[in-house]
């Protein structure tokens, strides 16, 4: 759970306990005891709209030399305002979105 949730009371981001109930997770901070609900409804991180559209984004890996292969897909949410161009392209193409970054070969 660490990484995207922080206790508003003490700032703890590791020692958090969560219990899911429907579309809500009740989180308890094991350091200070604060309890709060975290809504799982997808929303745009830029404008806060909740009428976002589910889309699939490809995850690529190098399979041979410079050849890239789709290894899996992940769900992302596109905002009708903030991601309008990307959403229109996704609906038109009906193909997974390209990854945000391409895999690179580490240099020695």
Instruction: Return d(Cα 12, Cα 78) in angstroms, integer.
Output: 30
Express each pLDDT in 8-65 by its tens digit.
999 999 999 999 988 789 999 999 999 999 878 899 999 999 999 999 999 888 777 7
Instruction: Return d(Cα 8, Cα 101) in angstroms, integer.
Output: 32
- Are 17 and 25 spatial neighbours (Cβ–Cβ below 8 Å)? no
pTM as predicted: 0.64
The secondary structure of residue 97, as a DSSP letter, is B
- Are 60 and 68 spatial neighbours (Cβ–Cβ below 8 Å)? yes
């Amino acid at each position: 759970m660490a990484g995207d949730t922080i206790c508003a009371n003490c700032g703890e981001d590791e020692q958090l306990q969560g219990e899911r109930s429907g579309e809500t997770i009740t989180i308890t901070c094991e350091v200070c005891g604060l309890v709060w609900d975290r809504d799982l409804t997808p929303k745009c991180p830029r404008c806060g709209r909740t009428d976002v559209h589910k889309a699939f984004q490809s995850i690529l890996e190098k399979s041979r030399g410079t050849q890239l292969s789709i290894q899996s897909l992940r769900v992302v949410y596109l905002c009708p305002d903030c991601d309008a161009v990307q959403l229109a392209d996704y609906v038109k193409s009906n193909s997974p979105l390209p990854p945000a970054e391409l895999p690179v070969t580490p240099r020695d």
